Amino acid sequence: MMSLDLSEENIPITELHNVSVDKVLNQMDQSMVYLPSYRELYYRWERQQWSTQDLDFIYDRVHWEDLLPEEQNDFIAALATFYQGEACVTDALGPYILAVPDEEMRIFLTTQLVDEARHTVFFDRVFKDVLEIDHGRLEDTLAMTRQYMNKGAQFVLLDSLSDIAERMRKDPHDLKLLIEGVVLYHLVVEGMMGLAGQKTLLDQYRLENIFPAIRAGLMGVTRDESRHVLFGVRFLRDMLAQDANHARVIEAALSKYGPGALEALTPPQERIEILRSQNEDPWKSPRYARESLRKKLKVIGLNIDLAFLPTLPAL
């Protein structure tokens, strides 16, 4: 297998399936040591461009056809929440761009909006070109995916993101509301749900050496979202430095949205039983999300007791 150095930030999308997702996540953790400026994050975006049109799903289609029917259903369920989630974050981001108080922040967020649209198109291509699920309009295919979302995912992605975006649209100068929104969007949706879920899928598909184009696209998504999360960490640290009282806003938002994120990452009970019978950890994704959140809060400058998050069963 080809060995690639992730420090070469211009790795083309067609080669990203050869890279371990841990390299992207470790680079994000290393970046939190010094926290790039908003302009540096913008420059990183310029270096890490990719196109959904460069992905060829021919081998992914073969791997899909080799799956058993129950495995195909699990595969659709795993990707449906990502597909819907990317559409939700694309729709929600506009008010953030108007609400941030600094032009450098605004410039970076415009790149993030482009990223989220690209991610939505990527998952739409997977559903059409690999799964052959196409209900005509993108909106109609997305509506189908909602049946696969558990209550936690519905609360965070469908209900909460649209609610806070609408409140922000009505009052773009409410800084506390913006802070709550960044906690929800960048720490909870992307930092907990997105990166943890992507790591689980990428580890599995790489171990089994299947779905090369899907892996490449997911790596592109993960690399993009690591930038977004760094923006959120930087923003919240800057806001906390301006006013220590913002800590209460951050903690309240995490208490409100964090449990839903862990629920979204938790497999259904029947899947839990199967994984445990195979001596696998059903709560791998929630565990990663919880620990990842702890790291980011430390960088932000907060020592928050995560007792508001559900306790995960011991192995």
pLDDT at position 9: 65
pLDDT (tens digit per residue) in 230-266: 999 999 999 999 999 999 999 999 999 999 999 999 9
Q: What is the dihedral of CA 202, 205, 208, 210, to 10 degrees?
A: -140
Q: Are 96 and 116 in contact (CB under 8 A)?
A: no
Which residue is associated with the tokens 């749900």?
193
175 to 95, 247, 295, 299: CA distances (angstroms): 13, 13, 24, 21
User: Does residue 8 surpass a pLDDT of 60?
Assistant: no
pLDDT (tens digit per residue) in 41-56: 999 999 999 999 999 9
pLDDT at position 1: 38
pLDDT (tens digit per residue) in 160-174: 999 999 999 999 999
With CA atoms as reference, report the closest residue to 151 among 164, 160, 138. Answer: 160
Mean local confidence (pLDDT), 187-199: 96
With CA atoms as reference, report the closest residue to 77 among 148, 132, 151. Answer: 148
Taking the C-alpha atoms of residue 294 and residue 303, their distance in angstroms, rounded to an integer, is 8
Cα 221–Cα 259–Cα 195 angle in degrees, nearest 5: 15
Question: Predicted confidence band at 136 (pLDDT cuts at 50, 70, 90)?
Answer: confident
Q: Are 199 and 25 in contact (CB under 8 A)?
A: yes
% of the chain beyond a pLDDT of 70: 97
pLDDT (tens digit per residue) in 74-87: 899 989 999 999 99
Domains within the chain, CATH numbers bracketed: 19-43+55-304 (1.10.620.20)
% of the chain beyond a pLDDT of 90: 82
Its sign, for the CA torsion 203, 205, 209, 215, is negative
User: Does residue 312 surpass a pLDDT of 90?
Assistant: no
pLDDT at position 30: 93
Question: Predicted confidence band at 180 (pLDDT cuts at 50, 70, 90)?
Answer: very high
Mean local confidence (pLDDT), 128-141: 92
Which residue is associated with the tokens 């420090």?
7
Taking the C-alpha atoms of residue 217 and residue 54, their distance in angstroms, rounded to an integer, is 10
pLDDT at position 4: 39
Mean local confidence (pLDDT), 24-34: 93
**Average pLDDT over the chain, rounded to whole?**
93
